[in-house]
Structure 1
Amino acid sequence: MKTIKTLFTVLAVTIVVAASAVEKPKMDVVPLSEDRAVVSILNGEAALFELSIHAADGELVYYKQATKPSNEYQKVFDFTNLENGNYTMDLRVNDTRLSKEFEVASKGIFVGESKMRIDPYFAFSGDVLKLTYLNFDQESMNLNIYDKSGLVYESKLGKEFNIATGFDLSALESGQYEVVLSSLNNDFSFSLEK
């Protein structure tokens, strides 16, 4: 029992440390006219970033990857060639993702609220896999572990906002493993060698 309490105390401290070390980028999308908008990105520290725009069907309509660290970026987008409909603009800075939905319509561009998401934290040491994840959308999360021949372990983690857990992998044979944390909308993977 003491071991379990110690493990969860360590995981709780890890969550606090991870949350305080997270990048906190800001992304503004401001319509300038019926078919143009300015996108501004600000980050406290200079970092590499990725910016993408996806249509509602998942089609990638724009992608930019920074070639050098920067703490700001600004661009005027011309959406004239986009069909009317819903789109999602995604910004990734290190382990932080910021998404903003917007609609392109004949009457203009309509911008929704931003959603910030943080990638999960994985660590493997002493045969213990540690995992923390802030499940903002409270999706049903599953954890699967694969080796070269396929699935070797699966666990349903539930829909809790704060997922913090550890797995004793001492029964697994030595080798390479792929850990996949997944939901209906997200997949995160972590490679480990035992």
Structure 2
Amino acid sequence: MKNVLNNTRKGILMVAMFTTLLSFANEVSVSKAKNEAKRTSLTLKNVKQGNLLSIKDDQGIVLYKELIEKTGSYTKGFDLTDLPNGSYTFEIDKDVEISTIPFKVAAEGVTFNKEAEHIVYKPITKVVGDLLYITKLSLEETPLEINIFFEDNSTASLLEEIYTETVEHSKIIQKVYKLEGLSQGTYEVICNTDGRSFTTYIK
């Protein structure tokens, strides 16, 4: 089974998909809602229908979530003072990126840390024939751990890890893998980066 997947060394040209990404600082604005001292107005630009907005606590527990209904600009007021004192994060999950906006709730009010705003670019997987392409933008050169598992349907075998690799020191990660025996079973690709896990199933 160790030969089911061979790592090819071909480069792939998928950089263009990242050139349209805009600066996060220009896409998000947070301000006090007019005439409402307790409410905070959140404005998001360039969102798409189906993007997910959520509020999480410092343990990663989702306290609020909402699917964006319209493509374009999104504005909504939130009374964040109802939350217990502590650290929280607004998270906007888009097609190829997850943007986070940290804030704190205290007795004196709600404060946002603009310097700690962060974007996690998702690893993008694509299968063409028997080739698996994995591409990721990593401006901070955050390591990407790639784990590939295979389950052979013909032998009713359990899911077996057949390949693992950690890619480091790269702003643009581009990998190509040859999937052998694709018609005989199911692949599971797990990419870990920035403290998050992304899973893709290939049948």
Same fold (TM over 0.5): yes
Residue equivalent to 2:94? 93
Relative distance call for 1:31 and 1:159 in structure 2 (3 A) is farther
Residue equivalent to 1:155? 165
For 2:22 and 2:132, locate their aligned partners in 1 and report how far apart those are by CA, in whole Å: 24
Residue equivalent to 2:145? 142
2:56 to 54, 57, 75: 54
* CA shift for structure 1 position 80: 2.4
Deviations 1:2-35 (A, max 9, x none): x94xx31xx2x312x2113447772222245774
Deviations 1:114-170 (A, max 9, x none): 322322221222432211111245333211112232222222223533221212333
Q: Which amino acid aligns with 2:130?
A: D
Aligned pair count?
183
Q: Which moved more, 1:165-174 or 1:91-100?
A: 165-174
* CA shift for structure 1 position 173: 6.9
Percent identity (aligned): 22
Deviations 1:64-111 (A, max 9, x none): 113x33312211111222111111100123223221111111122111
Q: Is the 8 A contact 1:48 1:94 kept in 2?
A: no
Residue equivalent to 2:44? 41
Q: Which amino acid aligns with 2:103?
A: F
Q: Which moved more, 1:78-87 or 1:20-29?
A: 20-29
For 1:115 and 1:36, locate their aligned partners in 2 and report how far apart those are by CA, in whole Å: 23
For 1:47 and 1:187, locate their aligned partners in 2 and report how far apart those are by CA, in whole Å: 23
For 2:52 and 2:38, locate their aligned partners in 1 and report how far apart those are by CA, in whole Å: 23
* CA shift for structure 1 position 55: 0.6
Higher relative contact order (CA 8 A, sep 6+): 2
Q: Which moved more, 1:74-83 or 1:164-173?
A: 164-173
Relative distance call for 1:105 and 1:37 in structure 2 (3 A) is same
TM-score (norm 2): 0.77
| Aligned pairs (5 A) from 1:105-120 | 105-113=106-114, 114-120=117-123
Residue equivalent to 2:18? 19
Q: Is the 8 A contact 1:47 1:93 kept in 2?
A: no
Q: Is the 8 A contact 1:141 1:159 kept in 2?
A: no
The answer for unaligned runs of 5 or more in structure 2 is 1-7, 152-157
For 1:20 and 1:160, locate their aligned partners in 2 and report how far apart those are by CA, in whole Å: 17
Q: Is the 8 A contact 1:24 1:96 kept in 2?
A: no
Relative distance call for 1:69 and 1:76 in structure 2 (3 A) is closer
Q: Name the SS of the counterpart of 1:47 in structure 2.
A: coil
For 1:173 and 1:157, locate their aligned partners in 2 and report how far apart those are by CA, in whole Å: 28
The answer for unaligned runs of 5 or more in structure 1 is none
Q: Is the 8 A contact 1:51 1:91 kept in 2?
A: yes
For 2:71 and 2:133, locate their aligned partners in 1 and report how far apart those are by CA, in whole Å: 32
> How well do the aligned residues superpose, as a CA RMSD in angstroms?
2.6
